[in-house]
Amino acid sequence: MTNPSAVMKLSPVVPVLVIEDAAYARPIAEALVAGGLFALEVTLRTAAALEVITEMAKVQGAVVGAGTVLNEADLRSSIDAGAKFIVSPGLTEPLGKAAIASGIPFLPGIANAGDIMRGLDLGLTHFKFFPAEASGGIKALKAITGPFGQCKFCPTGGITQASAPDWLALDAVLCVGGSWIVPPGAPDVAAITALAHKASLL
């Protein structure tokens, strides 16, 4: 799967996961897949993140990606850990070129028209709009997408179960990133499965 569009269409909500303990990885991934969410973003914000990616990748049906990828070293270690897609909070030319060269689906963060234009220069058309609410919300994304009809987005940052449907109603939005599905700490598998199921129906 080299097309970011294919990853973005797996689920209406991509869970954004910050997991401190690799022992939680498989139960969380199994609960999310059971609830109907298949694209899972594990952020590189914890010491356990790479091990979490490796463990989650063993769960049938889970398409596990790495988030908070900041540079080429993060990119390489994420791919080595088993990541199937890459998400970054922003876009730099070195990271963009390295991600494209690797062939892995890449979703760089953008917040304005200049970011998108830099992405288009690299041949990219799929982006993470981040931080979505802090960058002006739906009104801002509508304004930004006007000149860029060829682009598709995954808004992430401040989105909730309640606000997600409004974002998903936008033609340019293929999915949203959400952190509400998996709260921090030891996983409550039944609760995660229920929240995932609810999100999968958006």
| Phi–psi pair at 189, nearest 5 degrees | -60, -45
Q: Which of 55, 84, 128, 152 is catalytic?
A: 128
Residue 46, classed as helix, strand or coil, is: coil
**Long-range CB contact pairs, 139-146, < 8 A, 24+:** 141/167, 141/170, 141/172, 141/173, 142/170, 144/112, 144/113, 144/116, 145/170, 145/172
- Cβ atoms 196, 31 nearer than 8 A: yes
Angstrom distances, CA of residue 86 to CA of 63, 89, 166, 197: 11, 10, 25, 24
**In the block, residue with structure tokens 């063993």:** 58
Active site residue 93: no
Active site residue 198: no
DSSP 166: H
Question: What is the rounded CA–CA span in Å between residue 142 and residue 57?
Answer: 35
Q: In which region does residue 137 sit, left (phi positive, over 0), alpha (psi from -120 to 50) or beta (all else)?
A: left
Q: Which of 30, 41, 55, 84 is catalytic?
A: 41
Residue 60, burial from CB neighbour count under 10 angstroms (0-12, 13-18, 19+):
exposed
Q: Which residues are catalytic?
A: 41, 128
